[in-house]
Structure 1
Amino acid sequence: MSQRQHLSAEERRERTVETVVTLCSEEEPATLTTGRIAQRMGVTQGALFRHFPNKDAIWAAVVAWVSDQVMARVAAAAEGVDDPLAALEAMFLAHAAFIAEHPGVPRLLMGQLQHPRPTPASRMVRSLLARYRRRLLELLEEAERRRQLRPELELDVAATQFIGTLQGLVVQSLIADDVTRIGERAPAAFDLYQHGIRAAGGDA
């Protein structure tokens, strides 16, 4: 108990984010209450709201953490990889590995996008998708310059399909109730994706 009492405000916020991410892997995010979050943390709701003004602020902090983690993971995976298609594959696998480690994240993000009204968290999810998409387009444009892609390929569609392939894996894993194995399925999924965009005669 004394350890919890001596946590700094920033440490308390970080612990709240970690708790929400964990709970989203166990429960439906849409029905997750601040009372449930506080209960898991072993604090009162009053203590929770000393660090967050409201529930929206909690969700915004969680999405901010997810955004930072995802972008850092995919950037690190692609760093130093000269071939743009190999960099795309590294990003795809790194993203899948992150989801396997944090199985509640896909449901959390999808739940925010389905929110009936705009919230700070839902806007942040859309911002994450826009940043991610820009990075994909940079790599696809470089692959196009190197003539690695089919001549008629629409890069915007290719970027959308990259994200869609990941989302398809997530949905299949959610249906099977086994998100942790998404990393095992990711290489084959990316192989199918790249066959759809690669120039004829290119290396597999």
Structure 2
Amino acid sequence: MEKIRQKNLPAEERRNVTVEAVIDLAATTNPSDITTAAIAKHMKLTQGALFRHFPNKEAIWQAVMKWVAERLMSRIEKAAEGLDSPLEAMQAMFLAHIAFVSEHPGAPRMLFGELQGAKATQAKSLARALLKQYAELLNELIKTAKSRGELPHELDNQAAATLFIGTIQGLVMQSLISGDMDQMRRDAPGVFAIYRRGIACTGTAKRDE
């Protein structure tokens, strides 16, 4: 019955199901080892059926990166929406990002895999664009926090944004290594509190030197 249902999916839904299948596989498999045969098997389809919606594997990977970028940015932007304090918005984004990864552990593995690859692919360009968009959003929040006195004017905006993203990546990597994705959710509030104190005290530390 499942196989019949999959065959009758509309084209756009089939593409989305394929993307989700790749992310599911990436949660337990090195992304570079995922073949189109493995994807088709996971979906209970033939490779021929898979290629009716994607011309090649690169097109699938491109669709995966687009899916990750759109959903992650939507999640963090929605989390920050309506919060007057920039720092509270950053905390909401931090926790929303961790929640997204906890729900889709294959997503960061696909992202890291593309960024670490030597080849210049469209999927890699999308991954880089995601990080750039993310950093720009953080930079605007940090600027606003400075203007409102929540953060010291001496704070390096780019360094603070880089540390924010890097802190999340560190939590993700530790959870992937340990195999305990729920550990991220437990650790995230305390880790963000340390990050927040660190960027808030930057100006004081410089004046004391």
TM-score range, shorter chain: over 0.9
- Structure 1 residue 151: deviation in Å? 3.4
Look up the equivalent residue of 1:191 and give its one-letter code.
A
1:101 aligns with 2:129: no
1:172-191 → structure 2 map (5 Å cutoff): 172-191=174-193
2:171 is matched with 169
Out of 111, 116, 119, the residue aligned to residue 118 of structure 2 is 116
Out of 28, 31, 35, the residue aligned to residue 30 of structure 2 is 28
Of residues 172-181 and 75-84 in structure 1, the stretch that sits farther from structure 2 once superposed is 172-181
Question: Partner of 1:166: helix, strand, or coil?
Answer: helix
Look up the equivalent residue of 2:52 and give its one-letter code.
R
- Structure 1 residue 121: deviation in Å? 0.5
TM-score where L is the length of structure 1: 0.95
- Structure 1 residue 5: deviation in Å? 2.0
Cα deviation 1:18-76 (Å, max 9, x = unaligned) = 10111111111111000000001011111111100110100110110110110000011
Contact persistence 1:75–1:91 (CA under 8 A) = yes
1:1-204 → structure 2 map (5 Å cutoff): 1-199=3-201
Provide structure 2 residue ranges, at least 5 long, that are not aligned to the other structure: 205-209
Contact persistence 1:74–1:94 (CA under 8 A) = yes
Cα distance change on mapping 1:95 and 1:190 into 2, 3 Å: same
Which of structure 1's runs of 4+ aligned residues deviate more than 2 A?
none
Quote the RMSD (CA, aligned, Å): 1.3
Contact persistence 1:101–1:180 (CA under 8 A) = no
Question: Partner of 2:154: helix, strand, or coil?
Answer: coil
| Aligned-pair identity (%) | 50
Cα deviation 1:75-109 (Å, max 9, x = unaligned) = 11000000000000000000000000011111110
2:207 is matched with none
Distance 1:168 1:2 in 2: 42
Distance 2:176 2:5 in 1: 36
Contact persistence 1:99–1:180 (CA under 8 A) = no
Look up the equivalent residue of 1:93 and give its one-letter code.
L
Look up the equivalent residue of 1:94 and give its one-letter code.
A
Look up the equivalent residue of 1:49 and give its one-letter code.
F
